[in-house]
Amino acid sequence: MTDATAASQNDASGTASNGDGSGLYLVDGSGFIFRAFHALPMLTRPDGTPVNAVLGFSNMLLKLLADARAEAVAVVFDSKRLNFRNEFYPDYKAHRPEPPEELKPQFALIREATEAFCLPCLELEGYEADDLIATYARLAQEAGRQVTIVSSDKDLMQLVRPGVGMFDPMKNKTIGPDEVFEKFGVAPDKVVDVQALAGDSVDNVPGVPGIGVKTAAQLITEYGDLEALLANADKIKQPARRQKLIEFAEQARISRRLVLLDENVPPPKPLDELRVREPDHQRLIDFLRAQGFRSIVSRVEMEMLKDGRIADGAGSSAAPTSAAPAAKDPAAAPSGEAGERPARKTVLNVPEVRYELVQDADTLRRWVERARETGVLAVDTETDSLTPATATLVGVSLSTEPGIACYIPLAHGSSTAAAGQLDFDAPPPPVQIPTTEAMAILKDVLEDPSVLKIGHNFKFDHQLFARNGIAVSPVDDSMLISYVLDGGAHGHGMDELAELHLAYTPIPFKEVCGTGKSQITFDRVPLDKALAYAAEDADITLRLWTLLKPRLVDDRMVTVYETLDRPLVPVVADMERAGVRIDKKALSDLSQSLSIRLAEIEKDVHALAGQSFNIGSPKQLGEILFDTLKLGTGKKGKTGAYSTDSSVLEELAEQGHTIAQRVLDWRQLAKLKSTYTDALQEKISPVTGRVHTAFALAATNTGRLSSTDPNLQNIPVRTEEGKKIRRAFVASPGHKLLSVDYSQIELRLVAEMANIQALQDAFRDGLDIHAATAAQVFGIPLEQMTPDIRRKAKAINFGIIYGISGFGLGRQLGIAPGEANAFIKTYLERFHELKVWMESIKSFARQHGYVVTLFGRRCYMPGIQDKNAARRAFAERQAINAPIQGTAADIMKRAMNRMPGALAAAGSNARMLLQVHDELLFEVPEAEAEDAARIVRGVMEGAAHLGVPLVAEAGIGDNWEEAH
DNA sequence: GAGATCACG
DNA sequence: GACGTACGTGATCTCA
């Protein structure tokens, strides 16, 4: 974004002031601490002190200082003691629980942070931050200064007025009169009257019982204000409401006093002291470094380098640059001359950016040259759809160094004419390099082994270039680097990482293309907007890479990235591009027959219920079953609604209630129809005639892939009806489908990682593992094994993988938790190594906040230190499961990475199409099927060399059901 | 947009 | 003794 854009955005948002440096930002420090603490994943300093809220706070200030430009910023805190409201209403905020343990040490650190930023801290005993904010807002407004309250607290919304706005730093959204009206249904000056009636359970403000915000707003709108309403309470038509208003009139008045902010508290610092100040950079860096905030520090340092502040070793004493004139120094500049001061551009600002629109071949060649010099090139493609296998390439953006980027439009049309529509009045399309020519110029550098290409989710771009005959290499992916470094700690989308690491909000896609029905494709975006958006993406990608790449070495995660995730990009890109063939006719026939059967069942169910209702509505169904028909009492969930999930319905069906069984049938068929037979047909590409899923490489907490749009990892297989859908996945003419899956990989990995001798022996002997464990645990010889005992052992084996609990196992087996606990006890005695291993994992997780797979992948477990026992227990089960599931995922990735090479070396024409966690699906010329099966099994079984053998089983067929 | 439900490993 | 439970995903539907 250019500075001009940034400035205009600020103005448009209404948060900026007159630009004369007299504006004032009042940050609700206390409010922010709590919100940041709960919104951000737990982070600790090397010494164990939690600092997540401190990081959020620092990032927020940094961003604010960059955005606020010429404004003064002050941070306001609550005083620790009780405040004046408790004097007339002792219960005020009485139900507030103690702050969480991890938050307590952060209060002091946040004050330190404020001081490190050289910002004034405002607090006053006996008053809340909100009262101070109200007072300073009034004072500043009277002095003609524009005020922006940085908070999202609804209690502050009463202060919004001309000259006083609010800004929500977490949502990055301004709050003006319109937003206040949306929330309270009245103008800001009536907010306290509404709050007085509606009350607030969080702050323990009583209000009037039975009246919520909606009703309160309606009443205040009708009567003008609270006193007028109370005076006319007897005229209210609704009897219950009238009575409550009369009865609780005094309580409403007290509530109003509680929520009304005091604008006249004695200000702890004179308003004039709240002026723009130049931060002491060295002090700030020292503080941030002490908290271990590396990315933030390097950002500040980068800025200082740019301004020549580090070269001479000086911090704040360095000579001011032209962008930060001496008048900034409060000592040198007597207050009161604010009007003459030019807008400040602090060193904390996002550096100046230069984005160029490339519309001719020579300019593009210059960018290619530049990339050859720097050796790195961030690349991002823009298309007209999210399916890269079939999307049209609309443009390419490049960045060679931070702040320097370009956009090369290739297929932009006229922005006013609708796509494919003839409009002779429309302006002609813009000047663009023909796609083939641009690709020819780019091919050299994209395939140049000495230029590293950097993308964010490059799998997408890889496909587009592959379709243009370009095999991009070598490639780094900032999304995957982030995933390897911080998997489980947060998401890895570019916008989220930009917020987190760069304290910057990229231009939202919807701002460029709109949303919903009026959304346009990127080829219809005007070039100036396309440039700002697309070039920014390449710029941010490069910046993120610069920050994250060195951490791979520091955190010893290079091997995981280099051997598992990085090589996967071209492999999975080719799978997505290949797509899978679907028999559309089979699906549409299935849809039709399902429609008929659903209609029949629906008729039955309505007859059994004695009335017509929506079976698809769990709410209506619950009411029919338990209120109307009174089939048992029903159990209610958190929301107070009856649960009608399959376990409940199955129980009713067993008691002989036909309707429950019929609803179960209906549910199953409705699911199959809506999720699979209908939706899948629409996902067949008209271009390739196949379905192209997207495999997410950085979505799961354990290292698995996931599949979306459509999800091809959850195609039915368990029921007979479901298998019909799987039969619609077919091979091309002359081809077969080959499915190869790992046998019991997760249980083998438990035996390996926990070093369970007896279990390892059983696997080495090639025994039926569930029968073998049953024999060991229940002491029954294999020859006497019964299916029921084997079933129980199987359930325990699965339970182990999930981080077993007696309750869960009991529910699975339909036995009492106590009985299940006895099974677990015996199991752990027989396989005593397991218990030791599980304890060591949990202890490791508690100590480090993450767990590790056999191949070194880290999975962060934010909940492991939670004070709440249930949440902690949940995290402990995750901690047991993640290394098992994650190691299996690692092994599968190793196999996938070796697969194309192994197939090519053997001269096989098999194509890998899908991965379903422990299964790979291939399409292979009929005559080669058996050979391919042998090669694939070899690669999969050889993907890791462990104490237990890995076994892969292959199946061949004309469709997926047959091959599986 | 959240919650309930259910398809898969 | 308390917490509320099997682990990991994504899509669809209803309802506020």
Residues 729-758 of chain A in contact with strand C via CB under 7 angstroms = none
Give residue A332's pLDDT: 34
How far apart are the C-alpha atoms of A591 and A596, rounded to whole Å?
A: 9
How far apart are the C-alpha atoms of A535 and A524, rounded to whole Å?
A: 17
How far apart are the C-alpha atoms of A954 and A221, rounded to whole Å?
A: 72
Q: Compute the mean pLDDT over every residue in chain A, rounded to the nearest whole number.
A: 88
Distance A623 CA to C16 C1' (A): 18
Contact call for residues A207 and A91 (beta carbons, < 8 A): no
Does a structural domain hold residue A344? no
Per-residue model confidence as pLDDT tens digits over A215-229: 898 899 889 999 999
Q: What is the DSSP code string of A753-794?
A: HTT-HHHHHHHHTT--HHHHHHHHHHT--GGG--HHHHHHHH
CB of A798 within 7 Å of some strand C atom: yes
Indicate the residue among A548, A564, A579 that finishes a domain: A579
Q: Considering only CA atoms, which of A226, A220, A222, A225 is closest in space to residue A255? A: A226
How far apart are the C-alpha atoms of A292 and A284, rounded to whole Å?
A: 13
Indicate the residue among A537, A556, A579 that finishes a domain: A579
How far apart are the C-alpha atoms of A957 and A963, rounded to whole Å?
A: 4
CB of A722 within 7 Å of some strand B atom: yes
Percent of chain A past pLDDT 70, that is, above it, reads: 91
Q: In this model, does residue A54 exceed pLDDT 70?
A: yes
- Beginning with the edge strand found earlier in the chain, give each strand of the sheet holding A24-28 in spatial order: A121-122, A72-76, A24-28, A147-150, A164-168, A173-175
**A678 and A707 inside one domain:** no
* A192 DSSP 8-state letter: H
Residue A665 tokens read as 């049938």
* A140 DSSP 8-state letter: H
Per 3-state DSSP, chain A is made up of helix, strand and coil in percentages (nearest 5) of 50, 10, 35
Name the nucleotide nearest A620; use CA and C1'.
C14
Give residue A3's pLDDT: 42
Give residue A633's pLDDT: 79
Residue A473 tokens read as 């290499």
**A325 and A359 inside one domain:** no
What CA dihedral angle connects A480, A481, A482 and A484, to 10 degrees? 80
Does a structural domain hold residue A912? yes
Q: In this model, does residue A78 exceed pLDDT 60?
A: yes
Q: What is the phi/psi pair of residue A254, to 5°?
A: -65, -45
Does a structural domain hold residue A345? no
CB of A809 within 7 Å of some strand C atom: yes
CB of A492 within 7 Å of some strand B atom: no
Name the nucleotide nearest A663; use CA and C1'.
B5
How far apart are the C-alpha atoms of A733 and A927, rounded to whole Å?
A: 12
Residue A841 tokens read as 């994992």
| Strand C nucleotides with an atom less than 7 Å from a protein beta carbon | 1-16
Indicate the burial class of A634 (C-beta count within 10 angstroms; 0-12, 13-18, 19 or more).
Answer: middle
Does a structural domain hold residue A347? no
CB of A83 within 7 Å of some strand C atom: no
Nearest protein residue to nucleotide B6 (CA to C1' distance) is: A671
* Cβ-based neighbours of A303, under 8 Å, separated by 6 or more: A347, A348, A349, A351
**A563 and A587 inside one domain:** no
**A44 and A179 inside one domain:** yes
| Alpha-helix residue ranges (DSSP H) falling in A579-645 | 584-609, 618-622
Contact call for residues A801 and A837 (beta carbons, < 8 A): no
Distance A675 CA to B4 C1' (A): 16
Distance A493 CA to C13 C1' (A): 27
Does a structural domain hold residue A777? yes
* Cβ-based neighbours of A270, under 8 Å, separated by 6 or more: none
Residue A265 tokens read as 């508290």
Q: In this model, does residue A669 exceed pLDDT 60?
A: yes
Please state, in angstroms and as integers, the Cα–Cα distance from residue A106 to each residue in A60, A100, A113, A292, following that order.
Answer: 15, 10, 10, 14
Helix (H, G, I), strand (E, B) or coil at A860: strand
How far apart are the C-alpha atoms of A717 and A918, rounded to whole Å?
A: 15
How far apart are the C-alpha atoms of A390 and A884, rounded to whole Å?
A: 36
How far apart are the C-alpha atoms of A197 and A208, rounded to whole Å?
A: 5
Average pLDDT, stretch A153-157? 91
CB of A389 within 7 Å of some strand C atom: no
Helix (H, G, I), strand (E, B) or coil at A947: coil
Does a structural domain hold residue A374? yes
CB atoms within 10 A of CB A518: 7
Confidence of residue A8 (pLDDT cuts 50, 70, 90): very low
Distance A761 CA to B7 C1' (A): 35
How far apart are the C-alpha atoms of A372 and A441, rounded to whole Å?
A: 13
Name the domain count of chain A: 6
**A56 and A77 inside one domain:** yes
Distance A475 CA to B8 C1' (A): 32
Per-residue model confidence as pLDDT tens digits over A898-953: 999 999 999 999 999 999 999 999 999 999 999 999 999 999 999 999 999 999 99
The CATH number that applies at residue A686 is: 1.20.1060.10
**A897 and A876 inside one domain:** yes
**A152 and A290 inside one domain:** no
Give residue A199's pLDDT: 87
Distance A636 CA to B7 C1' (A): 24
The CATH number that applies at residue A862 is: 3.30.70.370
Q: Considering only CA atoms, which of A295, A782, A241, A348 is closest in space to residue A543? A: A295
Least confident of A302-306, A315-319, A496-500, A914-918: A315-319
The CATH number that applies at residue A492 is: 3.30.420.10
Does a structural domain hold residue A632? yes
Enclosing domain of residue A850: 702-756+835-964
Residues 331-370 of chain A in contact with strand B via CB under 7 angstroms = none
- Residues A13, A18, A22, CA angle at the centre, nearest 5°? 115
Per-residue model confidence as pLDDT tens digits over A626-656: 999 998 877 777 777 898 999 899 989 999 9
Least confident of A351-355, A375-379, A600-604, A707-711: A351-355
Top-confidence range, A126-135, A437-446, A868-877: A437-446
Indicate the residue among A273, A292, A307 that finishes a domain: A273
Contact call for residues A187 and A194 (beta carbons, < 8 A): no
Q: Which residue has the higher pLDDT, A83 or A405?
A: A405
**A113 and A253 inside one domain:** yes
**A530 and A650 inside one domain:** no
Confidence of residue A203 (pLDDT cuts 50, 70, 90): confident
- Beginning with the edge strand found earlier in the chain, give each strand of the sheet holding A729-730 in spatial order: A690-691, A580-582, A729-730
**A194 and A118 inside one domain:** yes
Average pLDDT, stretch A845-859? 96
**A90 and A207 inside one domain:** yes
**A646 and A534 inside one domain:** no
CB of A706 within 7 Å of some strand B atom: no
Give residue A4's pLDDT: 41
User: Residue A200's beta-bridge partner residues?
Assistant: A205
Nearest protein residue to nucleotide B3 (CA to C1' distance) is: A639
Average pLDDT, stretch A704-730? 97
Does a structural domain hold residue A697? no
Helix (H, G, I), strand (E, B) or coil at A313: coil
